[in-house]
Amino acid sequence: MIKTDFGKSNHLFLSYPKGFFNEYETLTPFFDRLIELIPKDIHLIVIVNKQSVKRELLNKFSHKGNIEVLVVNYWDELWLRDCMGIFAGDKIYKPQYMPNYCGLKSEGKYYQYVNKLTKRILTEVYSSSMVDIPLNIDGGNFVHNGKKVFLTEKVYEDNPGKDVEKIIEDYTGLLPIIVGRSCYDVIGHTDGYMAFKDESTLFISEYPKLPYLKRDNEYVQTLKSIALNNGFNVLPIFDRPVDELISCACKAKKTRSCLFSASGIYVNYIRFNDCIIMPEYTMPANCKVDYNAINKEWLTGQGFNVLGINCDHLATFGGSLHCISFQV
């Protein structure tokens, strides 16, 4: 059975960016705060790239008692949701992680290396067999309930000429639901818009009726219609995206900014059973609504224990909590 986000969680993978060879190292204090929030009944597996960082991490969090640290030389990948694969107990389904947005598509050798390393990491920790799927899929574009899976049509762009739906169904048994993607969305990940609460219910982003979000509101309404037409119940998560471009490596753009900050995206949370670690953000000065409080109150009313963590800095890299986590 393929692991769902709402299924029982026992283990969580995170990267710890101290000593990374890129700007992600500035997120080290954020990860310190996040690790403190991880429930003690969750086995936390942290990937680092130096023995010295392993010693420091184990000493810093010795009071937690639930941390295992893996040292992987030259590791500096933050987005574990995208690169680790699809856990199914006795199997790990492993599509290729080969993102092709912005300037990343020119870094094929690096991503081949990441694919090799993630296989090694998973086989070191688990005895599950590895099943290679002959598709390029980012894990953030794979939101499923164990029976059906939502992906944006970017999966077609990443796999030209392939029968994507048949390959996914043949390998995983999941029925693909391929949706369009927002005209503003370069990354094309469904986990920026939706998360399964349970097998029959989807949380889908609900945006305020602001002029600059008109096209985004049209898009999420389309997602809701598709979900309802496929027999799902739909509940809101009150997202409030901030109109904030971030720098990227896209040489085709004079502005070198075609990615948007993830600030204000709440649906991209981490869930452990009945506990949700919810992103919190500093809203613009003209925002009159406390979305941090609204979402905490709403999800608490849905039966969750909600813990918050400020994700302002993380969001400037284009992702949030679900993006950096991988659960088994």
Question: Per residue in 245-297, pLDDT tens?
Answer: 776 665 554 545 567 789 999 999 999 999 999 999 999 888 899 999 999 99
What's the CATH number of domain 11-327, 2.40.50.1070, 3.30.70.2190, 3.75.10.10, 3.30.930.10? 3.75.10.10
User: What pLDDT does 228 receive?
Assistant: 98
Residue 325 has pLDDT above 70, yes or no: yes
Domain segments of the chain: what residues?
11-327
Confidence of residue 213 (pLDDT cuts 50, 70, 90): very high
Name the residue with tokens 């992702």: 319
Radius of gyration of the chain (CA): 19
User: What pLDDT does 248 receive?
Assistant: 64
Residue 88 and residue 60 in contact, taking contact as beta carbons nearer than 8 Å: no
- Cβ-based neighbour number of residue 219 at 10 Å: 21
pLDDT over 90 percentage in the chain: 81
Q: CA-to-CA distance for 152 and 235, rounded, in angstroms?
A: 20
Which residues does residue 150 pair with via DSSP β-bridges, in sequence order?
143, 177
User: What pLDDT does 232 receive?
Assistant: 98
Q: CA-to-CA distance for 130 and 263, rounded, in angstroms?
A: 35
**Average pLDDT over every residue of 153-174:** 97
- Cβ-based neighbour number of residue 147 at 10 Å: 12
Mean pLDDT of the chain: 92
Residue 125 has pLDDT above 60, yes or no: yes
Q: Which residue has the higher pLDDT, 289 or 103?
A: 289
Q: CA-to-CA distance for 297 and 293, rounded, in angstroms?
A: 6
Confidence of residue 99 (pLDDT cuts 50, 70, 90): confident
pTM summary value: 0.94
- Cβ-based neighbour number of residue 296 at 10 Å: 19
Question: What would the 3-class secondary structure string for the chain be?
Answer: CCCCCCCCCCEEEEECCCCCCCHHHHHHHHHHHHHHHCCCCCEEEEEECCHHHHHHHHHHCCCCCCEEEEECCCCCCCCHHHHCCEECCCEEEEEECCCCCHHHHHCHHHHHHHHHHHHHHHHHHCCCEEEEEEEECCHHHCEECCCEEEEECHHHHHCCCCCHHHHHHHHHCCEEEEECCCCCCCCCCHHHCEEEEECCEEEEEECCCCHHHHHHHHHHHHHHHHHHHCCCEEEEEECCCCCCEECCCCCCCCCCCCEECCCCCCCCCEEECCEEEEEECCCCCCCCCCHHHHHHHHHHHCCCEEEEEECHHHHCCCCCHHHHCEEC
Among 186-195, 199-208, 238-247, the minimum mean pLDDT is found in 238-247
